[in-house]
């Protein structure tokens, strides 16, 4: 039987869709019906397991799965003997402390002696201990936001993405405990064969994620401005410059960081660039 890398991902929830999307962008083809708990890639030595998010760290530690995709918050909360192999640059959020919006916040010491409701008792205990704060922790599995309103706690510690859920429940975010994103976790005793497969997968993940933050730019430039335009567009090594059929003009091709995209456009137009095309990059191998 072919040696396969067993990959655990969330069977439902906020990470499931993006985890499947990432694996497919990495060239793994597999079927995943709504009730399917296990499937195999048709073209890559991998088996995908669909599990509860909170269970993935345990399965990886036990060796049932070789690697898993989880939120960093889950990795930190579960405290299993596994390690982060690769950050995945999606599902970014934060675990924050929040209080009723009518309460006055005077700094982190405000939580001393208070009651805090959370689904992440280990993380918040570590945070409070680090800041020399003594507070009572109420561990609850869901609907954390309601705790202050029913008198269960003075504050909550929960995952925040936009903050809209807090606002709708009369709460305000006052302190970030940790920042989190999706991460690839692995056990510490992979065989050489499975480690080689994992290395190939990580190579593909890096290529996909690198491409997401960059754009491929093509433009026409007057020859007397090419040198200045190339200084604006350094590219991965240097821009590609090709002569056009029309005398005195060249085509310049380069890769730009999306964060700098609009600033580059303004500079290029000022230097006489025309016919500027910007297209997405699917994969980027450095």
Residue at a domain's end among 180, 201, 233: 180
Q: Per the domain annotation, does 144 fall within a domain?
A: yes
Same domain, 176 and 100: yes
pLDDT computed for residue 1 by the predictor: 41
Q: Per the domain annotation, does 286 fall within a domain?
A: no
Same domain, 66 and 110: no
The closest of 272, 182, 178 to 227, measured between CA atoms, is 272
Q: State the CATH number of the domain containing residue 255.
A: 3.30.70.120
Q: How many helices (H) and strands (E) does the chain have?
A: 8, 15
Q: Can you give the residue range of the structural domain that contains 259? A: 214-280
Same domain, 173 and 98: yes
Ramachandran bin of 13, using left for φ above 0, alpha for ψ from -120 to 50, beta for the remaining angles: left
How far apart CA 178 and CA 133 sit, in angstroms, is 17
How far apart CA 175 and CA 98 sit, in angstroms, is 7
Place of tokens 């499975």: 194
Number of domains making up the chain: 3
Q: Per the domain annotation, does 199 fall within a domain?
A: yes
How far apart CA 181 and CA 35 sit, in angstroms, is 26
In angstroms, the Cα distances linking 273 to 36, 233, 250, 251, 265 are 53, 12, 10, 10, 9
Same domain, 126 and 248: no
- % helix / strand / coil in the chain, to the nearest 5? 35, 30, 35
- Alpha helix (H) ranges present in the chain? 16-25, 56-62, 72-78, 121-130, 164-168, 192-212, 226-232, 261-270
Same domain, 131 and 54: no
Same domain, 228 and 207: no
pLDDT computed for residue 163 by the predictor: 80
Q: Per the domain annotation, does 285 fall within a domain?
A: no
* CB neighbours of residue 147 within 10 Å: 22
pLDDT computed for residue 142 by the predictor: 79
3-state secondary structure (DSSP) of residue 99: strand
| CB within 8 Å of 119: residues ≥ 6 apart | 139, 140, 141, 142, 144, 158
Same domain, 20 and 97: no
Continuous segment of H or E residues that includes residue 147: none
* CB neighbours of residue 69 within 10 Å: 25
Residue 230 has phi, psi (to 5 degrees) of -65, -30
Same domain, 163 and 188: no
Q: State the CATH number of the domain containing residue 61.
A: 3.40.190.10
Same domain, 187 and 176: no
Same domain, 65 and 192: yes
Taking the CA atoms of 179, 182, 183 and 186 in sequence, report the sign of the dihedral they define: positive
Task: Encode the chain (286 residues) as per-residue pLDDT tens digits.
Answer: 468 999 999 998 889 999 999 999 999 999 877 778 999 999 999 999 999 999 999 999 999 999 999 999 999 999 999 999 999 999 999 999 999 999 999 999 999 999 999 999 999 999 999 999 999 999 998 789 999 989 999 999 999 988 888 988 899 999 999 999 999 999 988 999 999 999 999 999 999 988 888 888 899 999 999 999 888 886 566 788 999 988 999 999 988 887 777 778 888 888 999 999 988 888 888 7
How far apart CA 249 and CA 233 sit, in angstroms, is 17
Q: Per the domain annotation, does 242 fall within a domain?
A: yes
Same domain, 157 and 34: no
How far apart CA 218 and CA 222 sit, in angstroms, is 14
| CB within 8 Å of 162: residues ≥ 6 apart | none
Residue at a domain's end among 172, 196, 211: 211
pLDDT computed for residue 85 by the predictor: 97
Q: Per the domain annotation, does 59 fall within a domain?
A: yes
Same domain, 78 and 188: yes
pLDDT computed for residue 225 by the predictor: 92
pTM of the model: 0.85
Beta bridge partners of 138: 117
Beta bridge partners of 243: 250
Residues composing the chain? 286
């Amino acid at each position: 039987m072919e040696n396969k890398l067993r990959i655990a991902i969330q069977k439902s929830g906020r990470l499931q869709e993006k985890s499947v999307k990432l694996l497919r962008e990495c060239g793994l083809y597999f079927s995943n019906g709504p009730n399917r708990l296990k499937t195999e890639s048709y073209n890559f030595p991998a088996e995908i397991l669909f599990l509860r998010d909170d269970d993935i760290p345990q399965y990886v530690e036990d060796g049932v799965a070789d690697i898993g995709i989880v939120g960093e918050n889950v990795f930190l909360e579960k405290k299993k003997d596994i390690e982060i192999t690769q950050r995945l640059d999606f599902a970014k959020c934060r675990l924050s402390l929040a209080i009723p919006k009518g309460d006055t916040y005077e700094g982190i010491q405000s939580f001393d002696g208070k009651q805090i409701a959370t689904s992440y008792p280990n993380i918040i205990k570590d945070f409070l201990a680090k800041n020399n704060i003594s507070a009572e922790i109420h561990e609850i599995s869901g609907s954390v936001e309601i705790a202050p309103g029913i008198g269960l706690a003075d504050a909550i510690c929960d995952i925040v993405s936009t903050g809209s859920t807090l606002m709708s429940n009369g709460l305000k975010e006052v302190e970030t405990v940790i920042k989190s994103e999706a991460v690839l976790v692995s056990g510490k005793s992979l065989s050489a064969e499975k480690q080689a497969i994992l290395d190939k997968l990580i190579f593909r993940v890096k290529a996909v994620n690198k491409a997401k933050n960059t754009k491929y730019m093509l433009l026409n430039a007057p020859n007397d401005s090419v040198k200045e335009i190339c200084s604006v567009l350094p590219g991965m090594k240097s821009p590609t410059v090709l002569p056009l059929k029309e005398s005195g003009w060249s085509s310049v091709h380069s890769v730009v960081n999306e964060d700098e995209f609009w600033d580059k456009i303004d500079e290029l137009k000022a230097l006489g660039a025309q016919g500027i095309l910007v297209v997405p990059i699917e994969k980027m191998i450095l």
